[in-house]
Structure 1
Amino acid sequence: MQSAACFRFGLDPSGCTPKSRLISRYAAQFTDLFFTSYSFPEGKSMSMEIGDKKVDFTATGLIMQASVKEWISGYWWSRISHNGTAQDTMMRFSAEDLTHLPGGRDAHRDLLVRALQARARNEFTWFDLAAAAIEAAAVAPEDVREEALYLDVPVIGLIVAIGDQEAFTEQLWSALEAHRAYYSKNEYRTCWSDGFISIPILAACCMAIDDGMTIDIETDYLPRYLLDHPAWMFELDGTVT
């Protein structure tokens, strides 16, 4: 669903149409369902709203595990949707609970999970964990290093800058430029829907808004409607066609 949302924002960069927001809500809700299912004991009967319908499902527990990268994506959507329940769900997991993509452990992503959770718990150690994640990204395995340096590190720096409006805006420009550089490196990448907008940067901006900051930059990489209307996910009735 994330790819569908990103593709839709490629057609509607401002996110102003109800259809764009509905697809984004589906992405946020399905991600929440995915992690809710993992976070409760196997076999527990549960229900959740998807669109305008109630969906019944059975929890799987950690027998089926998510990856660190999937957790980070899920956390971004919980912040984009300003959904406190979804954020609480993500906090039920520790880095040790999560599996890893093939190729070994991604230390910088492990540290990013720990940093985001420490920040959510108002633990000052999150700054040290964020710094450690940036250092680990510099020596990440070759197959993930470019993504780590161009997409992950700028977002970590952006979150660190929350609370300082001038520093945040400056870092936001840098993060957007890094995103553009990564996805425009070759013709193949320019077709990836994940490059049409930046989910991580959007999430960091939503975190800043939740802390009372403003986002003054206009760019097609950030759906303006979602930034200007924090309750966007709860304003739809699920019947948009």
Structure 2
Amino acid sequence: MTVVIARHGLPAGADAERYTERLGEHLAQKIDTLEVSAGLIDSTFNTGVLALQARCVIDPRSAKIETWEAAVTAMQLGSALFAVTGSSEGPVQCRIDRKERTLQAIGRSASASAGEWLTAFWLAVICREQERMTQLCEIPLERLRVPEGQYDEYIYHWVDALQTYWLRRPGLVEKLTAALQASDPAVARIAPRDLLDGVLYPPINLFYHFVTRDVQGFSPALEEALKLHKAYWTLNQERTEDIEGSIALEPLAIACLAYDGELPIEVESEYLPIHLLHRSWLGEFPT
């Protein structure tokens, strides 16, 4: 029996449409400036993710190709962020927003961190871009570290586990167990308790059910992750109106892995836009 998790109310209507359109225009302008200077690649990536979230507010099933295109553009920007920060000299070729672009390498940057890596990786998963997933997973873990105090140690265990899974390296169970243990609120010290419980821990638990091919446990874990996502984004009025909560990015990406791996998914929700989950627009244009 399929469980339906209703998405919480988000600002919609003509105002949301206009906001999404203006945001898309602003993003296109920022992308064009990257060929002049790639120094703002991090903020452009963040704007790209925001544009995807805005699209999902007004198109919760991702039934329109514009939503798929927003996902692809955000994914391309995530890959570009790590491409231009992976070298300190020379041009870097990146396809962004339906165009091949030449960006100048800027060298290592604190903005190319483990947190941004996770977002870039999940977007590549959702867009089924296996080559980009591999490129991201080949980035040394030490390159993603930032000064102490920004992230709890769990995030590095989590990235390590994902890289190990995708590249089929040994030690996945041990690394995933370390990520689960380090994300416990009793251990983590930097991330707020509600963020850990509602957003950060559930995807790790969900991924565990996926990699162990737990047919009976995957859908209940996905249901729990979405309920916790909803609880976090409805804790107060400010969060309720924040479009960042329009989709559950990490659970969506892991559900995409499960869907492609033919693991039964018995949960439906606008937090998991159905046409992104089912890769309905895949191959519509070069990515």
Please confirm whether the aligned pair reaches a TM-score higher than 0.5, indicating the same fold. yes
Residues 115-137 of structure 1, C-alpha deviation per residue, up to 9 Å, x if partnerless? 11111122352222222222212
From 60, 77, 83, the equivalent of 2:106 is 60
Quick one: distance in 1 between partners of 2:182 and 2:53? 28
Quick one: distance in 2 between partners of 1:53 and 1:151? 34
Q: Secondary structure at the match of 2:93?
A: strand
Residues 202-226 of structure 1, C-alpha deviation per residue, up to 9 Å, x if partnerless? 1111121232324332111011001
Is 1:9–2:59 an aligned residue pair? no
Q: Against the structure 1 CA distance between its residues 152 and 228, is the aligned structure 2 distance closer, same or farther, given a 3 Å change threshold?
A: same
Quick one: distance in 1 between partners of 2:110 and 2:198? 30
Tell me if structure 2 keeps the 8 A contact 1:208–1:214. Answer: yes
Q: State the 4+ residue runs in structure 1 displaced beyond 6 angstroms.
A: none
Q: Against the structure 1 CA distance between its residues 180 and 25, is the aligned structure 2 distance closer, same or farther, given a 3 Å change threshold?
A: same
Q: Secondary structure at the match of 1:234?
A: coil
Give 2:74's aligned residue: 27
Tell me if structure 2 keeps the 8 A contact 1:51–1:237. Answer: no
Name stretches of at least 5 consecutive residues in structure 1 with no aligned partner: none
From 188, 192, 197, the equivalent of 1:149 is 197
Superposed counterparts of 1:1-241, under 5 Å: 1-39=48-86, 41-62=87-108, 66-100=112-146, 103-138=149-184, 139-162=187-210, 163-229=213-279, 232-236=281-285
Amino acid corresponding to residue 50 of structure 2 in structure 1? S
TM-score by length of 2: 0.76
TM-score by length of 1: 0.89
Quick one: distance in 2 between partners of 1:175 and 1:235? 30
1:237 Cα deviation after fit? 6.8
Larger of the two Rg values belongs to structure: 2
Tell me if structure 2 keeps the 8 A contact 1:9–1:20. Answer: yes
Q: Against the structure 1 CA distance between its residues 142 and 99, is the aligned structure 2 distance closer, same or farther, given a 3 Å change threshold?
A: closer
Identity of counterpart residues, as a percentage? 26
Report the RMSD for the aligned CA atoms in angstroms: 2.1
Quick one: distance in 2 between partners of 1:38 and 1:92? 14
Quick one: distance in 1 between partners of 2:195 and 2:88? 34
Tell me if structure 2 keeps the 8 A contact 1:65–1:98. Answer: no
Residues 95-116 of structure 1, C-alpha deviation per residue, up to 9 Å, x if partnerless? 2111337734411111101111
Residues 141-170 of structure 1, C-alpha deviation per residue, up to 9 Å, x if partnerless? 254332122212111111111122221111
